Chains A and B, each alone.
Chain A
Amino acid sequence: MVHPDDKPLMEKAISDLYKFGHTEGEYRIVRTDGSIAWVSDRTHLVYDKSGAPLRIDGIVTDITQRKQAEKEKEELQAQLMQSAKMAAVGQLAGGIAHEINNPLTVILGFAEGLAKRLAPGDTLEMPIKSIEREAVRCGKLVQDLLVFSRSQKAGPEELDVVKTIESAMSLISARAKNSNIKLVRAFGENIPHIFANSNQLQQVIINLANNAFDAMGERGTLTIRARGLEENGKRWVEIRVEDTGTGIPEEIRSRIFEPFFTTKEAGKGTGLGLGLCYEIVKNTGGTITFTTEAGKGTCFTVRLPAADGGANAK
């Protein structure tokens, strides 16, 4: 049976066959055991003496292996491109961190020092506090960028995933309340511990939740799940962040993990959120994937190796 998604391809092939007398096409079929195979279909019409179609001759070849190899090659190329981009951002981040952190120390030091010398109610309090706050913000941005240069000095530790998610929840709950979003927690039992940096894992959860809020606007449900699972003999912890928002448009799906890629208006997002999630999860030995449907919502799935049985756990 032709794969339902490829029926239009099949229909076009039949239409071409009658129009031109021959056709070539590649499409998927569903085997009787439910597995999917790619086939190449080359057919032509055989006519009788009067010129009327008599029969269809053709060769159908199983090209599943070739398609698989092509897909793997494409994925590898995409990964290489992603790595190259991350490396470029990392190099840039490491370089600018040095140049920015020095002046930030001067700005912060003077602003905080001046603030301490002000009498209560001094009219300079607001501007000086603003300088301090914005300098801290710049410092945070530089710290975020440094994730890409892998120069975060804080190492991983053994973490209880549920506790870490709960710590991130205080920020998430506040925004859910303000936006009238229902928050659902669904944590499995006996979830194994993982080796990760606690702050970074919280950052992943918060970034995913913030995107979910942006996708839902003023109503919806945000579900955060966590469970332990075993796959290919390895133990993993899976965290899911699901929303009922607008979904991710198809044309930007391949770009969402790119650093500085954003759909948010200027000032609302740096375009680093998902890029950071990707980098943090990758550095922890895990994977981040997503499924999305227009108008229905998006689910991000983060898998991290269990501390006691993960391939990359150290």
Chain B
Amino acid sequence: MGEPMQSEMRKTIVLIIDDEVGIQDVFAFLLEPIGCEVLHASDGLEGLAVLENRQVDVVFLDIHMPRLNGVEVLRRIREKNPTQRVIVMSSSSDPFGSAENEARKLRATVVVEKPIGADDIIALLEESGNGWSLPQGS
């Protein structure tokens, strides 16, 4: 009987996969005070390792990263979890937008372009999950 209450208390878990330390810091600064647990990974391989061990509500995924880029990370996420919410962040270094298009094909929840402000980040979190502060699937 007490389980729904416990479930409602669970923090929303957000994983930031981005090689920019500043981006990781800003997400923590914005999201932790509003009740999220923010996990970090500095490249694609680290990000996949976190996802092996933790259930994450929303992934913010940068496209251009060392070792394993965002598109490849998304491809591997989709192989294991077709419904994982993944917000892909682009910084427009690709003149043809081919990485962004590839991410859309791989069913990214949404593809956004940096710079992203605080309101954008919170709005994306709200949009990506139906009632983001509640447990996934509720």
Contact = CB atoms under 8 A, between A and B. Distances in A.
Interface in A93-114: 94-95, 97-98, 101-113
Contact of A149 (B26, B95, B115): B95
A91 B93 CA distance: 9
A106 B25 contact: yes
A84 B107 CA distance: 37
Contacts, number: 82
A131 to B, nearest CB: 12
B127 interface: no
A227 interface: no
Contacts of B64: 98
Interface residues of A, number: 30
Interface stretch (B2-10, B48-56, B73-81, B116-124): B116-124
Contacts of A111: 118
Interface in A124-171: 132, 135-136, 139, 142, 146, 149-151, 153
A163 B53 CA distance: 53
A101 B91 contact: yes
A116 interface: yes
B126 interface: no
Interface string B108-132: 0000011111110100000000000
B9 to A, nearest CB: 24
A107 B118 CA distance: 10
B92 A113 contact: no
A255 to B, nearest CB: 25
Nearest to A139: B115
B92 A95 contact: no
B92 A94 contact: yes
B138 to A, nearest CB: 27
A105 B26 contact: yes
Contact of B92 (A110, A112, A146): A146
A113 B26 contact: yes
Given A94-B95, A104-B115, A151-B97, A110 B23 contact: no
A102 B95 contact: no
6 contacts: A90-B95, A97-B91, A97-B93, A98-B64, A106-B26, A112-B118
